[in-house]
Structure 1
């Protein structure tokens, strides 16, 4: 068994070495025209990205804002294909927690429009998106609603989740560019997380009890 494992590791190492050799050979064989083409392509990409950023900022990206009404939401949807929209209610404390994190993420991810809507003042939109629990974050990608973050269930079932945890969860929809590992939540410390969940189960406490159900 030990010999078999050793042979497998050796084979894998040799394969990686061959791939690296091929990449080095390709780099060694680049002439001045190839390098010029690479530089021009990179310059074009940088110019395109800068143009997009200017357009995003012009459309109100980079800041976390409240939309006045449902009409403004649909206007924003026409200009910004990537939207992170928080449906809130003034009387719900957890909405203020969401506000705090989204203000930070809005300045970091200018590729998406971060905004919020008062659910009580937007009954048509709230009903159309089937939003029943407050807070709910609607995640829009390419003008289509891809996902919803309902309450704090996906954020560790706690109020003290990190901004990075919410960022990771939003990134699952593709509404923002994310450089981290989409497979692993940043707040995961398995032992602490499991203990928290077990404590919740033992106490019979439902973390969403304080949320608002519009069916009531």
Structure 2
């Protein structure tokens, strides 16, 4: 086990060093004209990002709003390419859990519009989207329903799932920007990281124990 962990650390360090070397070599090979062109390209990208951000905020992104009626979801989907819509019911306590996490994610991911809809007041839309379980999150991309998060099944089937878990699940639909590993749930990744850290501590503890065995007769 100790050898496997040490090899993993060595491989990761070697890969990082190789990546840095490639980046440095690329920059060294660039002329002043290349650097100016790269800088201009980056400035244009930043300007475009700022423009998009302004448009998102004007369209109500960054807030987790409740829609007053069914027609509003159609209006929103015309203005926003990415929509995360929570279909809730007042009598269902689990809906409040979704609300809590979605409020946080709405402020973090302004690239998508987060909203909630009372399913009881939206019979046409609920039937059209075939929503039978409450709570359900419908994920809409480019005016088409792309995915559903039905209850808490995909979130560990537990009420105390983390905001990161819901973020990871929504990101699988491609409607929010996500820097993590889409193949591994964050809760699982966190457990594996903790296990690796504990293993390192155990190995370090053994090394320290070996080092403390000094021959005082020398």
Which bracket does the TM-score occupy, shorter chain normalised?
A: 0.7 to 0.9
Q: Is the partner of 1:115 in helix, strand or coil? A: strand
How many residue pairs match? The answer is 178
Q: Deviations over 1:192-216 (max 9, x none)?
A: xxxxxxxxxxxxxxxxxxxxxxxxx
Are the counterparts in 1 of residues 89 and 95 from structure 2 also a CA contact under 8 Å? yes
Higher Cα radius of gyration: 2
- 2:55 matched residue in structure 1: 55
For residues 17 and 120 of structure 1, do their structure 2 counterparts lie closer, same or farther at Cα, with a shift above 3 Å needed? closer
TM-score by length of structure 1 reads: 0.77
Aligned-residue CA RMSD (Å)? 2.0
Q: Which has the higher helix share?
A: 2
CA-CA distance at 1:187 after TM superposition: 1.5
1:172, 1:82 → 2: CA distance? 13
1:161, 1:18 → 2: CA distance? 38
TM-score by length of structure 2 reads: 0.77
- 1:194 matched residue in structure 2: none
1:155-174 map, 5 Å = 155-174=155-174
For residues 95 and 27 of structure 1, do their structure 2 counterparts lie closer, same or farther at Cα, with a shift above 3 Å needed? same
2:158, 2:40 → 1: CA distance? 48
- 2:148 matched residue in structure 1: 148
Structure 2 residue runs without a partner (length 5+): 1-12, 193-218
CA-CA distance at 1:23 after TM superposition: 4.8
Structure 1 residue runs without a partner (length 5+): 1-12, 191-216
1:15, 1:155 → 2: CA distance? 33
Q: Is the partner of 2:187 in helix, strand or coil? A: coil
- 2:177 matched residue in structure 1: 177
